[in-house]
Each structure stands twice: as structure tokens, then as C-alpha cells.
Amino acid sequence: MNGTGTGTAAPSETELGELRAAVRNFLAAKSDEHAVRTAMGSERGHDEKVWRQMADQLGLQALTVPAEHGGDGLGLVELGVVLEEMGEALLPSPFLSTVVLAATAVVASGDVAAAERLLPAIAAGTLTATLAVPDHAGSWDVGAGLRVTATGGRTGAVLDGIAPIVLDGATADVVLVVADGPDGPALHVIDGDAPGLARTPLRTLDPTRRMARLDLDGVHAEPVGDPASLTAVLDRVLDVATTALAAEQVGGARACLAASARYATERMQFGRPIGTFQAVKHKCADMYTRVQVADAAAREAARAVDGIEGAPAAGIAAAVAHSVCSEAFMAVAAENIQVHGGIGFTWEHPAHLYYRRAKASQLLFGGPAVYHERLLARVGV
Amino acid sequence: MPSEMDEFVATAREFLDANATRRSGSADLPEWGVGEDRITYFSTDPPEVDAAKVAESRAWQRTRYENGFGWVTGPRAYGGRELSTLHDLVYDGLEAEYDVPDTGVLSLIGLGMIGPTILAHARDHIKDRYLPAMYRGDAIACQLFSEPSAGSDLASVETRAVRDGDDWVVDGQKVWTSVAQHAQIGLCLCRTNPDLPKHKGITALLVDMSAPGVEVRPLRQMSGGADFNEVFLTGVRVPDDHRLGEVDGGWRVALTTLMNERATVGGEGAGPAARALSLPFLTELLRANGRLDDGATRRRLAELYADQAATEYLNHQAIRKLRAGTQPGPEASVSKLMYARNLTRGAHFAAEVVGPRLIADTGEWGTYSWTELLLSTPALRILGGTEEIMKNILAERVLGLPKEPSIDSRSPFRELRRSGTAGS
């Protein structure tokens, strides 16, 4: 183990197990399949009552917010457990946009004023937020020009342009926007109801994860952090976000594996359970193998991002996890439909919801061509 | 306060410093274009080189044993330390930093699998006789399990053992026997009662490999070398006190061996093949062939590296679980499946980059030398349990899927159809 970790101690398995049980019980009660489908069809795409209960009963939004800003100051190892459970239950929620993308960007920016304004409210569950990186390729390539520009000074800027696909962009209370300014690309924050901002909800492949287009026409914005450190900030956000997503993908993949194993045991054809046929049995074993490897990759990335002793470099482990978990979830979600046969292709069966989530997650930060190159860049090839 | 593990590490470090040379930094990584142009998986050395290496292995094992590191997990009575599997792994990790002889010829089969089986099932005087000899490096053990008609279906072994006074008389043929050419003893599964179902009529005997009637013939494999053997047993007499477990109770003995086989899997990340498929070496391969900027090649490299890294992470996780006191279960075979897959894909990736210079030896460094690895990788999906059997085990034992209906577990062995011919 070529350790680069700074020596942070890992949380105990007992503590993680308790956290997992609490989240699992909560989601079993609040986010069963019926609840997921209801949220899917609702205007805002998620149940706001569940969002508040998540904060009030479990304090999940506060988990990784630094202690000085009203949070618990925990790391990705703990957050990963939460996201794995959310992924397994397919919870529709602005958690990834608010707690992972926006809060991480604010913390990484080192902007104390922005942190004091936004993080306590995020931790309390009273504020939702998101991050828009409106590059041309959809791969966080901010060096190649952005579709939103910023004019004005350091105390107040004006944003113009288009952010074509923004996670939870239609409902977020505040939006962090990376815009091209006089000093190059820089992070800004705007209010969700700011004058000049038009938010258009988009049709989405994955109905459990909402996207919107933002049109900005002279929108007032506050700069966040120093533009000189933007690349480092976005690298950190990407490491954290892909690591968090990896945990969610493992949860989704695990749900597909469990569904297939159950169905292969129960479904009778030719007078015997289909799981006795090696064609089906080996498919399930392959799914299990992919889930185990993805699980290890996601956990290693979380340890790396948290700087736990003995863990590999965060940038490498996060890129490995993003690639491995994206592909594992996609493969397992597809095979889950195959194991189920015809019933797996129906609208009322949940298999397609995982399939949709798997593909949308795989492409969320650019997709295979982008994440493979990103991995090679991180290892210096 | 130094923990018990810290003390163990300090003692081991002291021993290694006194008896071996520490490697310098990255000396282990092969350098592109430098040195011998060979990428091996199996040993394939000429017999005299092979014999010299075995002698070095034995000598290093003796040094380990005399300093209390010959059998970290073993009982003190047999020269062990009575420590955990984790200690064993920690020791291996430390030793990997030193330039010492590879002891695979002793450890992979004998010390890793047969030793624990003898410990669990042999009579005391047999343990006294063989265990110290094995862990001191004097006795190499092999596993006389597979037969031409009993591969994945190991319980259908046909080698017969018939009782004659205080002895058993063994007749039959074993195959794919690693290290038999060097071995002093072999653990042999024999059919002792064909009127019982196949799992219930097997007896495990510890065979003296120098006994009359034991003939070891090298088996040349598709990659060209002969790393395995056929073992012919003709009227071989084995004293009954060399029996492990009960008469007709040999399947339980075999399971002990196979469980230890699974436990040794996963620590296979090193070796020349893994080093040749490491990212720095493959990057140089691409550079030398002008493919470093080719998008399709880069994609395949990234996919390969991601899977290699994730497999390594899986092993880290297994070690963390050991550290937390969880024994590895059948899920350990995931690591083996991935290892075979990564090496196979890696060999084919290198072949694609090298192109036609892999089909004919032009003498150019780093081209034709990939053939040996390419020709070795099919074995990885077969040896130590075929992929198909591993997947059955994962699906049935971990995921709880139902077993295929079978008739051959209940019928007397002699009534089963074998090798495509009707049993009489």
C-alpha cells in the first residue's frame, strides 16, 4: 500500500454499521417503491417532507459540513454509507447537488463569508443548492471556455449566458455557477429566484434525478473564493462528487443484484427455479463479482479522499472508482432486466428505474471517454 | 505503547535485516528495453536451473524456520508462532521488501494447503514426523487430487486403494500435479469403496513419493514448459497410519485442503507478469510503439488499469477485514476471477499493440516476448478451480441460489457413467 494519506484514523465498523442501520430504516419507511414513484411524478421531483425529516431526525445534511459551520465534520467514508443506502432505495433527493456538489465547492473555495452564509443552512436542511459548470463539452473542461460570462467587480458581478444541464437546477434555493470573468473562470453564487434567471425543467432519462436549463440574463451574483484557485477547487469537487456517486452506484448495483438473486430463486420454468440453470447462475455470479469490486473501489476512494492512513492518492482512487462503479452499475442494471425476462421490461417493474439511474449516473460528469482520460491524466499518462 | 503487532513487526524486521538484503526502491519494476527480454508466468526454467532454485528455496525456508518465521500461524509444537493470518500477511509484506529466494515451490501447495490438512487430520506421530520437516524446507509436499476423469468433479476420483494387512495398495493416475518432481510426500485421494456415493467412498493417504511404484512424468503445457506432472501409481504400498481422517472419510480432508487453497488466492499481485502489465511498463510499451496518443488504445489502457487498481483495492479491503477479525469466505474467489481476467486482458492488450511482431520473432526487444504470457493466461481460468465452478460456488454459497438437481451425489459410484462410457 503506497500510502499518501495524512494519517486520519478511519471510523470504526461499528459506528458505520449503526449509521447504515439508521439510514436504512429511515428509507424503508420513507422511500419505498411507491414513494419513489410518487416523488418521480411530482412537480419538484422529490418529497420536501422527507428532506426535512432527513435533517431533523438523522441530520444527514450536516454529516460532512465542517463543525465550525454547524455540521459534524465527518468524511466521505461516513457519507458513502449514507449514499449507498440512498442509491439502493433510489431516493429522489437534492442531496447530491446540495450536500455533495454545492457544499464541497463552498468549503473548497475557502471563502469564509460564503461558507458562513450557506453552510449552516445546508447543514440544517433549510437550504438546497447546486453547482453549474456550463462548459461546452459537459465534462467540466473549464479551460475551453464557458457558456456563462461574468462582468463587474469583486463585490458584485453580473452573469449572462446559458447553463444547459444543471442538477436540481429548477428547485435549488441557490446556484453556484462557474462563469468566465475578467480573471478567467471563477465561482459565483446566485439566488434561485434572482431576477433575470429563467429555469426550465428538462425531460430526463432518469426521472428520479431532476435537471434544468438555466438562462441567465443580467443576473446579480456574488463571487465565491479566488479565481486563481478555481482549478484546484473543481478538482476537489470532482474527486468528492465522483467518490460520493460511486457509493450511490454501489448501492444501486447491490439492489439489482439482490433483486436478481431473489427472482432466480423464486421464478420457476421447466419445473425448476431458473437459478439452477448455470446460464442464469453464472450471470448472477458475474453481477456479484462486479458489485464486490465496485464496492472495494468506492470504499478505497472514500478513504483516499478523507486522507486516511495508507490510502492511495485521492485523485487516482476517485477516478478509478468513478470508472469501475459507473460500469459495474450499468452492467448489473442491464443484467437485472435480463434475469427477470419480460417482466423486467415493464414500466411497473422497478428494474428500468435502476437502468435509467445507472446510465444517467455514468454520464453525469462526462461519461466513459471523459473519465478514462481523466484517470490517465491523474496517473500521469 | 507498542502493540503486540508492532513488536511482531520489529522482530521480523530484525530477522530480515540480519539475514537478507533490502531492495533499493523501485528495483523491482522492470525497465523498458533493459535486461532479459522475457515475460514469464510459469517458471519454464531448464532442469538444472530449476533444481538450483529449489535448493535456494529450501535454504531460505530453513533460515526462516530456525528464526521462528517458518510457520507464523502454526502451533509452537511444530515450530510455529501461533499467530493470526494477518500476522502472516504482514510478514509477507515485510519480506517483499527484501531480496530473498521465492519459496513458492514449498509454500503454494505444501505449506499453504497440505500442512494445514495434515495438522487437522493426521495422527500425532505423523504430524511429528512431517510437519517440522515440511516447514524446515526439507519435505516438499504435492497434492495428488486431479485425475484425467476427475477435474472439476473431483469427487469422482478413480485411483483405487485396497487394504492389505497394515497397508493400502494404491493404483491409478493423477494429473496436473504441481511440484511432484520435487516432492517427498503427496496427499492422495483414493477410491476405497465404489459401492457408496462418490463423496462417501474416498480415503486420503499420505504417499511417500520415493516409494516403489510412484512414477512422475513431466506434462508439457501449451505454453511450452512443463510446470505440472502426471503421477502414475502402480501397486504403491502406503501404511495405514499414513491415512488422514477416517476410512471413506477423505472428502472432508480434501475440503480442508481446498479451503486453504482459496485462502492463499489473492496474494498473487506480484510476479514478472504483473510487473509487465503494470502501468509504467505498459506506458513504455505504448510509447515505444507510437500509440501513446491513440484514443482507442488509451481507452483500453484506462479500462485495464482501473480494473487492476480496483482488484488491488479489493485485496486491501480483504486485509482490513482480516485485521478486524473477519475470516475470508467464498467471496475471496472474486479476487481470483479478477486476477485471471486482468492478466488475460492485459496480455491481449499488449499483443494488439505489438501487432504482427507477436506472430514472428523479429528479435526486437519487448515484442515476441509477450507470447509466453499470452500462452499462459488460459491456465488462469482453469487452475485452482475453473471459473465455472467458482461461479457456481459464489452463486450458491454467497447469493443462496439453488443447486442444480443432481443424481450422481446419491447413486453408488460404480453405477455412474464416467468419461462417456457406461459404468458396469
Distance of CA B89 to the CA centre of its chain: 16
- Per-residue pLDDT of A89-101, as tens digits, reads 999 999 999 999 9
**Side-chain-facing half-sphere of B74: CA atoms under 13 Å:** 26
Closest Cα of chain B to A13: distance in Å?
9
**Is B309 within 8 Å of chain A by CB?**
yes
From CA A363, how far away is CA A29, in angstroms rounded?
30
Please tell me which of the candidates B302, B314, B396 has its beta carbon nearest to residue A293. Answer: B314
Model confidence at A1: pLDDT above 90: no
Lowest mean pLDDT across A306-320, B92-106, B199-213: B92-106
Scored b (16 or more CB within 10 A) or e, A192-222 reads bebeebebeeeebebbbbbbbbbbbeebbbb
In this prediction, residue B266 carries a pLDDT of 46
Model confidence at B355: pLDDT above 60: yes
Burial of B418 (0-12, 13-18, 19+ CB in 10 A): middle
From CA A65, how far away is CA B137, in angstroms rounded?
57
Task: Place B329 in a pLDDT band, splitting at 50, 70 and 90.
Answer: confident
Model confidence at B2: pLDDT above 90: no
Please tell me which of the candidates A300, A317, A381 has its beta carbon nearest to residue B279. Answer: A381
Task: Place B421 in a pLDDT band, splitting at 50, 70 and 90.
Answer: very low
**Overall average pLDDT of the A245-262 stretch:** 98
Burial of B391 (0-12, 13-18, 19+ CB in 10 A): buried
Model confidence at B331: pLDDT above 80: no
Residue (of B255, B235, B244) closest to B161 by Cα position? B235
Contact: A276, B402; criterion CB under 8 Å: yes
From CA A211, how far away is CA A201, in angstroms rounded?
6
User: Regarding predicted confidence, which is higher, B93 or A264?
Assistant: A264
Distance of CA B25 to CAs A380, B97, B98, B268, Å?
Answer: 20, 9, 10, 21
A369: chain B residues, CB-CB within 8 Å: 295, 299
Listed in sequence order, the residues at least 6 apart from B298 whose beta carbon sits closer than 8 Å to its beta carbon are A372, A373, A376, A381, B292
**Overall average pLDDT of the B60-73 stretch:** 96
Question: Cell for A123?
Answer: 447543514
Q: Which domains are delineated in chain A?
A: 13-124 (1.10.540.10), 129-227 (2.40.110.10), 231-378 (1.20.140.10)
Model confidence at B6: pLDDT above 80: yes
From CA A256, how far away is CA A336, in angstroms rounded?
6
Average pLDDT, chain B: 91
Task: Place B262 in a pLDDT band, splitting at 50, 70 and 90.
Answer: low
**Overall average pLDDT of the A131-147 stretch:** 93
Percent of chain B with pLDDT over 70: 94
Question: Cell for B288?
Answer: 515505444
From CA A293, how far away is CA A311, in angstroms rounded?
16
In this prediction, residue B213 carries a pLDDT of 98
Place of cell 428538462: A202
Contact: B396, A281; criterion CB under 8 Å: yes
CB B149 within 8 A of CB B156: yes
Q: What residues 248-307 of chain A have any CB closer than 8 A to a CB of chain B?
A: 257, 261, 264-265, 272-273, 275-278, 281-282, 284-286, 288-289, 292-297, 299-300
- Per-residue pLDDT of A143-161, as tens digits, reads 889 999 999 866 689 999 9
Contact: A375, B338; criterion CB under 8 Å: no
In this prediction, residue A3 carries a pLDDT of 41
From CA B260, how far away is CA B88, in angstroms rounded?
14
Residue A38 host element (H or E): helix A33-41
In this prediction, residue B47 carries a pLDDT of 84
The residues spanned by each domain of chain B are: 32-135, 141-248, 265-385
Model confidence at B270: pLDDT above 70: no
Lowest mean pLDDT across A277-286, A353-362, B40-49, B368-377: B40-49
Model confidence at B1: pLDDT above 80: no
Q: Which amino acid is at A101?
A: L
From CA B353, how far away is CA B344, in angstroms rounded?
15
In this prediction, residue B326 carries a pLDDT of 78
- Per-residue pLDDT of B11-44, as tens digits, reads 999 999 999 999 876 556 678 888 889 888 887 7
- Residue A68 DSSP code: G
Cα-trace Rg, chain B = 23
In this prediction, residue A105 carries a pLDDT of 98
Distance of CA A52 to the CA centre of its chain: 19
**Is A332 within 8 Å of chain B by CB?**
no
In this prediction, residue A7 carries a pLDDT of 63
CB B174 within 8 A of CB B142: no
Model confidence at A281: pLDDT above 60: yes
- Based on the residue annotation, tell me whether B261 is a catalytic residue of this protein: yes
In this prediction, residue B26 carries a pLDDT of 56
Task: Place B323 in a pLDDT band, splitting at 50, 70 and 90.
Answer: confident
**Is A373 within 8 Å of chain B by CB?**
yes
Place of cell 441460489: B401
Model confidence at A4: pLDDT above 60: no
- Per-residue pLDDT of B116-157, as tens digits, reads 999 999 999 999 999 999 999 999 999 999 999 999 999 999
Contact: A285, B390; criterion CB under 8 Å: yes
A321: chain B residues, CB-CB within 8 Å: 310
B354-360 LR contacts (CB < 8 Å, sep 24+)? B354/B285, B354/B289, B355/B289
CATH number for the domain running over B141-248: 2.40.110.10
- Per-residue pLDDT of B273-286, as tens digits, reads 888 999 999 999 99
In this prediction, residue A262 carries a pLDDT of 98
- Catalytic residue of the set B147, B261, B268, B372: B261
**Is B163 within 8 Å of chain A by CB?**
no
- Of 3.40.190, 1.10.540, 1.10.10, 2.40.128, the CATH number of B32-135 is 1.10.540
B337: nearest CA partner in chain A = A289
Contact: B405, A278; criterion CB under 8 Å: no
**Overall average pLDDT of the A16-27 stretch:** 98
**Is B407 within 8 Å of chain A by CB?**
no
**Overall average pLDDT of the B153-171 stretch:** 97
**Is B405 within 8 Å of chain A by CB?**
yes
CB A298 within 8 A of CB A321: yes
**Is B337 within 8 Å of chain A by CB?**
yes
In this prediction, residue A244 carries a pLDDT of 98
Contact: A300, B317; criterion CB under 8 Å: yes
**Is B419 within 8 Å of chain A by CB?**
no
**Side-chain-facing half-sphere of B188: CA atoms under 13 Å:** 35
Contact: A300, B316; criterion CB under 8 Å: yes
CATH architecture of B265-385: Up-down Bundle (1.20)
**Overall average pLDDT of the A26-55 stretch:** 97
Residue B310 host element (H or E): helix B295-323
In this prediction, residue A126 carries a pLDDT of 98
